[in-house]
Structure 1
Amino acid sequence: MAERVIAERCPLPALQADSLYNGFLQTPFWARQKEAFGWKAEAVKWRQGEERGTLLVLIKKLPLGLGFAYIPAAPSLELGTEDREAFLDALSRELRGILPLGCFFIRYDMPDFSVGEDTLPDFSELLKKAPMDIQPPDTVVLNLKDGYEALLPRMHKKTRYNIRLSEKKAVRVEAAGVEKLTDWYELNRITTLRDKIALRPYGYYERLFKELKAEPEARLTLYLAYHEEDLLAGIIVLFNKKEAIYLYGASSNVKRNFMPAYALQARAIQDAVEAGCEEYDLYGCPPSADPDHPMAGLYRFKTGFGGELRHRSGAWDYSYSKLFYTLYTLLEAGRRWYHQSWKKRH
């Protein structure tokens, strides 16, 4: 019989990410960022025999005193499907005493990934695949251990060509911080209108920059691409310990054929190498080279840098109330259809 899982609250500074991959999602600074925008953050330490770890648990309040919990990028478990499900069942039961009374499910977004074939774990009825993933389940990650020059032969020839083209067009890239965030946010406004996606408030990005000022092992860098006096594009990259993550990007509608996106990524990758990062995560892309996928161009762009295509299983839900969970997921599926189908056609 497996040993009992024991979980209890702990202070936010005690959080320790147990995975390099997307470890920033289990940090105190991410907890504080999410608390500023509608989530309640709880830090939990757990143990089972000799195994132990910590969890950032984010709690979202809903009407009528209800809510749900979300655990991003954790726990990282090297277990088979049956053992993992048994552990998550025991952990969820233990967390029930920590979560608010009206919390009717937990959404787990585990960091474990496969390379190559995209396969889902064969969980039983205890865990159900969520209607929506919160973090991108598929991404491209570059191995930086051998330096930037070693990456060039792995890149697609079109990617190398576009990097050189941006240089020939005299696109210049500047590294900045929160002082230039208003310029980037205007690009972001243009991008969301063009792509028909939601626009986060300016304060979300501003607070994240300010939050990271006090962090000794993490920082945000804003990269802006210019041609002459025209601001063409910009990206926000998080440097967290040994990992760099391309979090946000935006572009104008002018001189897009000058390939500013390639210039920005090339500069950020080089800076990540110099900072001692071991991985550069391009953070989200389609799972395969399907030419009919609505984001097929994004797949070609990100895989063109020659990284490893990683597949996570995405979000999985553990329900405490079948009735409330069924109603919520029906609403969530409708919201997903609205944003991904109807809204983009109108």
Structure 2
Amino acid sequence: MMVEINDQKVWNEWLLSQRMQTGIFLQSWEWGEFQKTVGHKVHRYLNQDKDTIARLRNREIAQVIELPLPLGKKYWFIPRGEALPGLVGEAQKHGVWFIRFEPITSDGLRVKSYVKTRDISPPQTLIIDLGKSEEELLAQMHEKTRYNVRLAIRKGVEVRFSAKGGSASGGEEFWKLMQETAKRDKFSTHPREYYEKMLEVLSNYPSPQSSPTRGEEEKDNPSPLGRGEKTNTPLKVRGDGGVMHVRLHMAYQGITPVAGAIVGYFGDTATYLHGASSYEHRAAMGPYALHFQIMKEAKKEGYKFYDFWGVNTTYYKLHTTNSWAGMTRFKTGFGGQVVDYPGTFDLPLNKFWYTVYRLGRRMLP
């Protein structure tokens, strides 16, 4: 029997007990709450039976994001999670056409009749083990990457870190760099409001023990991307990894911003979510110093892994000019371990309408 869970602390503790490093933040309570702020419904399910503990060990929980389709219809999306067999009945109650899911391993492909579809999240990622010393982290890098890290430091590149639970200093500069990078590398960004909301919500998410109080309980912070509006946000964030949060980190050469990164923190892993850099100041090698300093800071705070969140070694090995190739070349230069995902799959619940949906997608430009 599937039951919905409404307790933040319990949900995250169950999730973290699975001891998976990669992508798990997408199933965190806080990520679900962020999805609500951008207009999506969220459901959190536990497969409850007589052997609950065994079920939890087998990843029998799933956070589901409800997304719209044409004609007022909808589908369910489970990012970096499994389409549990028990979810089918719940989805049908909600009038869902299909369930889209991204299992972390092939063990998550237990349901029958699934269909491979276009990947939503990256097909591979790169994990850096932060248990190594600073010297070991440098030694595992490609020679050119190690040189560029040291060159950036010699050129005076400094990295400024946002405090946990603080407002996102440098947000306006990051957005300008993001627009420049997207134009240069020919990729689409989220709307500015998406990054604003992410930083607003996830920079300040309260732990279960620190519910906000008004007056002393509220605090005015500037808008994360610098528009000047005021937002009321909780004061405290637990710093032990039990609450997912994000921070914006910026690299400067003097007063000039040369690179920036939004990083998510959850459990024992820091994950690189979004990044941008200046082409005009590319000689400063800002991104190299930025990521190395983020790793050092995360290591100091007790995080065990740095997830570069997205590589594609297929394009890299083919030596293509695809944007994935350049991105993969940069990230793999830091060493680490490439992790493969099975991909993204659909579980059709209404085969007729799912077929109509697929045909409609093919007709789009």
User: Normalised by the size of structure 1, how large is the TM-score?
Assistant: 0.82
Q: Does 1:320 align with 2:357?
A: no
Gaps of 5+ in 1: 1-5, 76-87, 114-119, 339-346
Partner in structure 2 of residue 203 of structure 1: 193
SS in 2 for 1:164: helix
Question: Equivalent residue of 1:139, what SS?
Answer: strand
SS of the residue 1:56 aligns to: strand
1:292 correspondence with 2:305: no
Return 282-291 or 204-213, whichever deviates more.
204-213
User: May I ask how many residue pairs the two structures share in their alignment?
Assistant: 310
- Post-superposition offset of 1:221: 2.3
Q: Deviation digits for residues 176-201 of structure 1, max 9, x if unmatched?
A: 35132111111111112222322322
Residue aligned with 1:64, SS: helix
The residue aligned with 2:298 is 272
Amino acid at match of 1:26: Q
CA–CA distance in 2 between the matches of 1:275 and 1:325?
A: 46
Secondary structure in structure 2 of the residue aligned to 1:306: coil
Give 3-state SS (helix, strand or coil) of 1:90's partner.
Answer: coil
**In the alignment, what sits opposite 2:89?**
94
Q: Determine if contact 1:40/1:58 at 8 Å carries over to the other structure.
A: yes
- 1:126 is matched with which residue: 89, 96, 113? 113
User: 2:146 aligns to what?
Assistant: 160
The 5 A counterparts of 1:132-143 are 132-143=118-129
Q: Is the 8 A contact 1:142 1:306 kept in 2?
A: yes
2:103 is the alignment partner of 1:110: yes
Q: Which amino acid aligns with 1:136?
A: P
Question: Which secondary structure state, in structure 1, belongs to the residue aligned with residue 115 of structure 2?
Answer: strand
Q: Distance in 1 between matches of 2:131 and 2:35?
A: 32
- The range that moved more, 16-25 or 280-289, is 16-25
Aligned partner of 2:188: which letter? A
Structure 2 counterparts to residues 178-327 of structure 1, below 5 A: 178-212=168-202, 213=204, 214=206, 215-216=237-238, 217=241, 218-288=244-314, 289-292=317-320, 294=322, 295-327=324-356
Structure 1 position 69 matched with structure 2 position 98: no
CA distance change for structure 1 residues 331 and 148 in 2, over 3 Å: closer, same or farther?
Answer: farther
> 1:301 offset after TM fit, Å?
0.9
The 8 Å contact of residues 26 and 73 in structure 1, kept in 2 or not, is answered as yes
Any conservation in 2 of the 1:105–1:317 contact (CA below 8 Å)?
yes
Q: Could you state the TM-score of these two structures normalised by the residue count of structure 2?
A: 0.78
2:169–2:248 CA contact under 8 A, matched in 1 = no
1:290 corresponds to which letter in structure 2? L
Residue 162 of structure 1 aligns to a residue whose secondary structure is helix
Q: What corresponds to 1:51 in structure 2?
A: 55
Which residue of 11, 30, 42 corresponds with 1:15?
Answer: 11
CA 1:45–1:179 in structure 2 vs 1: closer, same or farther (change >3 Å)? same
Equivalent in 135, 143, 151 of residue 149 of structure 1:
135
Distance in 1 (CA, whole Å) between partners of 2:84 and 2:69 is 24
Deviations 1:199-230 (A, max 9, x none): 32222222222223124233322221222232
Cα distance in structure 2, aligned partners of 1:65 and 1:135: 25
Does the Cα contact within 8 Å between 1:38 and 1:60 map onto a contact in 2? Answer: no
- Residues 284, 66 of structure 1: alpha-carbon distance in 2 compared, 3 angstrom cutoff: same
Q: Aligned pair in 2 of structure 1 residues 61, 30: CA closer, same or farther (>3 Å)?
A: same
1:251 deviates by 1.4
Q: For 1:26 and 1:135, how far apart are their aligned partners in 2?
A: 13
Secondary structure in structure 2 of the residue aligned to 1:68:
strand
How far is the alpha carbon of 1:305 from its aligned partner?
0.6
Deviations 1:307-341 (A, max 9, x none): 10111011111001122212323444566xx5xxx
Q: Write the deviation string for residues 91-138 of structure 1: whole angstroms up to 9, x where unpaired.
A: 3433335x512x10001111227xxxxxx99989601111x2121121
Q: What aligned pairs does 1:33-52 form with structure 2 within 5 A after superposition?
A: 33-47=34-48, 49=51, 50-52=54-56
Letter in 1 for 2:319: P
- Identity percentage of aligned residues: 29
Q: Is the 8 A contact 1:12 1:42 kept in 2?
A: no
Gaps of 5+ in 2: 207-236
Structure 1 residues 333 and 145, CA gap change in structure 2 (3 angstroms) = farther
Q: What is the CA–CA distance in structure 2 between the aligned matches of 1:124 and 1:139, rounded to whole Å?
A: 25
